[in-house]
């Protein structure tokens, strides 16, 4: 092992341990969702776990074992598409743990789940599995399956990522409809949507902030209002309008969602002719927000 790598591992030993803790908890939640809500409700999950459910429905082969078996060729094929060795190892670890938890929970949880209500199974199955996926992503891994297949498809045919996910998940939903019922397949689509939202919130956190770009002829008054009333920092950039050729200041600042309406009022009062663009930032590190850490 190189001296540089040894130094890196000594400096950040907690990072790797934290990542694997996130992945372990995330895969446990995914397995709980499968066993408590999806299987009892005949709701097909997306990706390889959904395919494993369908195989289990016809053959009674263990879902966890099928998740592992179906992922092995994808892991081999997609190794070079997984963003480096560390990311690939985390993905392999996630596949193994979710397979293990899915099958071991058969002996610990009731076969009928917690409820026979299809709506409750859809909602809770989607939320819990989504949180699980989000924790795995925060651990810098994936749950294999569809994620690997999508990367292979993108590199093979250069199909956009959104279309790749649509192709793979639509195929699983089609098979789920044939195995269970089209009513359950429709609920499964809703469950996947809920799962995606929960995964996004878990991965990015609930504190999604807003970025504001303000082009104004009165930069001093606008920036002072933001500094004093919102107590937010402002960065001034000199800009030139291409159409008019006029020189104006462009102000850039980061605010919370609740401060957007206040910012609009302050800018309107200082310069009614200002131009504002409000964007979204998934993560902000630095003074006034989360501390910048390794």
Reported as half-sphere exposure (CB side, CA atoms, 13 A), residue 54 has a value of: 23
- Residues 191, 127 share a domain: yes
Is 125 within a domain?
yes
- Residues 163, 182 share a domain: yes
Q: Which helix (H) or strand (E) holds 251?
A: strand 247-255
- Residues 190, 230 share a domain: no
Task: Decide: 20 and 93 in contact? Cβ < 8 Å.
Answer: yes
- Residues 100, 51 share a domain: yes
Q: What is the pLDDT along the chain (294 residues), one digit of tens a residue?
A: 444 434 443 444 444 788 889 999 999 999 999 999 999 989 998 788 888 999 999 998 999 999 999 888 877 776 665 555 666 788 888 899 999 999 999 898 888 888 889 999 999 999 999 899 888 888 877 777 776 776 666 566 655 555 666 677 778 888 888 888 889 888 988 888 888 888 877 876 666 688 999 998 888 999 998 888 888 889 888 888 777 777 788 999 988 777 888 888 888 888 888 889 998 876 677 666 666 664
Reduce the DSSP state of residue 129 to 3 states and report it: helix
- Residues 213, 198 share a domain: no
- Residues 97, 74 share a domain: yes
Domains in the chain: how many in total? 2
**Which CATH number belongs to the domain containing residue 234 in this structure?**
3.30.70.120
Residue pLDDT, tens place only, 137-160: 888 777 777 767 766 665 666 555
Task: Decide: 104 and 171 in contact? Cβ < 8 Å.
Answer: no
- Residues 133, 220 share a domain: no
- Residues 67, 177 share a domain: yes
Residue pLDDT, tens place only, 73-111: 877 776 665 555 666 788 888 899 999 999 999 898 888
Is 111 within a domain?
yes
Given 204, 234, 266, the domain boundary residue is 204
Prediction pTM value = 0.71
> Which parts of the chain fold into alpha helices (H)?
3-11, 13-33, 47-59, 63-78, 85-104, 118-138, 146-157, 161-179, 182-204, 219-225, 260-270
Domain, as residue range, for 277: 209-281
């Amino acid at each position: 092992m190189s001296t540089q790598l040894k130094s890196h591992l000594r400096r950040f030993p907690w990072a790797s341990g934290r990542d694997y803790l996130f992945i372990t908890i995330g895969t446990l939640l995914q397995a709980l969702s499968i066993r408590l809500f999806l299987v009892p409700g005949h709701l097909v999950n997306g990706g390889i776990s959904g395919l494993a459910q369908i195989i289990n429905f016809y053959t009674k082969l263990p879902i966890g074992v099928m998740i592992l078996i179906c992922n092995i060729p994808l892991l081999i094929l997609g190794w070079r598409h997984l963003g480096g060795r560390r990311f690939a190892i985390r993905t392999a670890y996630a596949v193994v743990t979710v397979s293990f938890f899915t099958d071991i929970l058969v002996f610990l949880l009731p076969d009928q789940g917690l409820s026979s209500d299809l709506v409750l199974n859809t909602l809770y199955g989607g939320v819990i599995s989504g949180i699980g996926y989000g924790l795995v992503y925060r651990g810098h891994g994936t749950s294999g399956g569809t994620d690997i297949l999508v990367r292979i498809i993108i590199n093979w045919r250069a199909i956009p990522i959104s279309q790749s996910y649509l192709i793979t998940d639509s195929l699983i939903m089609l098979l789920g409809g044939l195995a269970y019922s089209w009513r359950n397949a429709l609920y499964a689509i809703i469950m996947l949507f809920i799962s995606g939202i929960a995964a996004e919130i878990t991965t990015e956190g609930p504190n999604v902030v807003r970025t504001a770009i303000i082009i104004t002829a009165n930069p001093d008054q606008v920036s002072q209002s933001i500094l004093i009333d919102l107590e937010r920092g402002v960065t001034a950039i000199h800009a030139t309008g291409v159409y008019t050729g006029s020189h104006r200041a462009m102000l850039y600042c980061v605010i919370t969602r609740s401060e957007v309406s206040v910012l609009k009022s302050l800018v309107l009062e200082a310069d009614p002719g200002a131009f504002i663009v409000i964007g979204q930032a998934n993560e902000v590190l630095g003074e006034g927000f989360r501390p910048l850490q390794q």
